[in-house]
């Protein structure tokens, strides 16, 4: 039988790998593994630099890959094949997202991960609209730092509250933080979906 103590030991032993791979594959809108990183770091058992590098490198890799996907679709022949083969939501997102992106580039670069629906795919849109690669990567990196450190620092302080006071105090603070974020996310998700469907 697998014990909880063994699971906790494995999480701390492979924490950096879990944070890296989790951040790499998690595209749900809530950075679960960055929050996990903050909570694990608050215990004092993980190194700050390695923890931060674990999620930042994953975010940069995702931005790079998605930018290259956008470049691929920007190619005339690829665009023709894309129209012919995969119509629907993604194509609409790409075309309308490009208009949003071009009218608010700085906002999208810096805060794209916080913008529902379109935000996570902003690197695709930046590649599709043929933005300079180096500028895009630098701006996305600054945006990744804003996004990840917001959640990492919040989770760290929640972890500190749990360790110093009690689990209930920490969970109440976490609940308030995620409630505010969820309301913001859902309100903006509805607005973005409406604009895409117009």
Question: Per-residue pLDDT for the chain (198 aa), expressed as one digit of tens each?
Answer: 456 567 677 778 888 999 999 998 886 667 888 988 998 898 888 899 999 999 999 999 999 999 998 888 777 545 555 555 555 566 666 777 777 777 777 877 887 787 766 677 788 888 888 888 999 999 999 999 998 998 898 888 877 776 677 666 666 666 776 777 667 666 666 665 555 555
- Model's pTM, two decimal places? 0.76
Expressed as residue numbers, the domain containing 129 is 4-197
C-alpha dihedral sign at 145, 164, 30, 178: negative
DSSP assigned state of 47: -
Number of domains in the chain: 1
C-alpha atoms less than 13 angstroms from C-alpha of 47 in its C-beta half-sphere: 7
């Amino acid at each position: 039988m697998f014990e909880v103590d063994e699971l906790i030991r494995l999480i701390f032993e492979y924490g950096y790998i879990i944070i890296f791979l989790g951040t790499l594959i998690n595209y749900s809108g809530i950075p679960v593994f960055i929050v996990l990183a903050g909570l694990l770091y608050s215990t004092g058992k993980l190194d700050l630099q390695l923890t931060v590098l674990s999620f930042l490198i994953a975010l940069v890799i995702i931005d790079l890959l998605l930018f290259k996907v956008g470049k691929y679709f920007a190619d005339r022949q690829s665009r023709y094949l894309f129209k012919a083969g995969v119509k629907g939501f993604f194509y609409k997102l790409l075309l309308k997202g490009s208009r949003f992106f071009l009218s608010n580039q700085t906002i999208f670069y810096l805060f794209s991960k916080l913008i529902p629906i379109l935000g996570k795919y902003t690197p695709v849109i930046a590649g599709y609209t043929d933005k300079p690669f180096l500028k895009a990567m630098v701006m996305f990196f600054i945006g990744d730092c804003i996004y990840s450190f917001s959640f990492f620092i919040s989770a760290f302080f929640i972890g500190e509250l749990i360790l110093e006071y009690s689990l209930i105090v920490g969970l109440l603070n976490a609940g308030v933080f995620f409630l505010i974020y969820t309301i913001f996310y859902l309100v903006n998700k509805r607005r973005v979906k409406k604009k895409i469907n117009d």
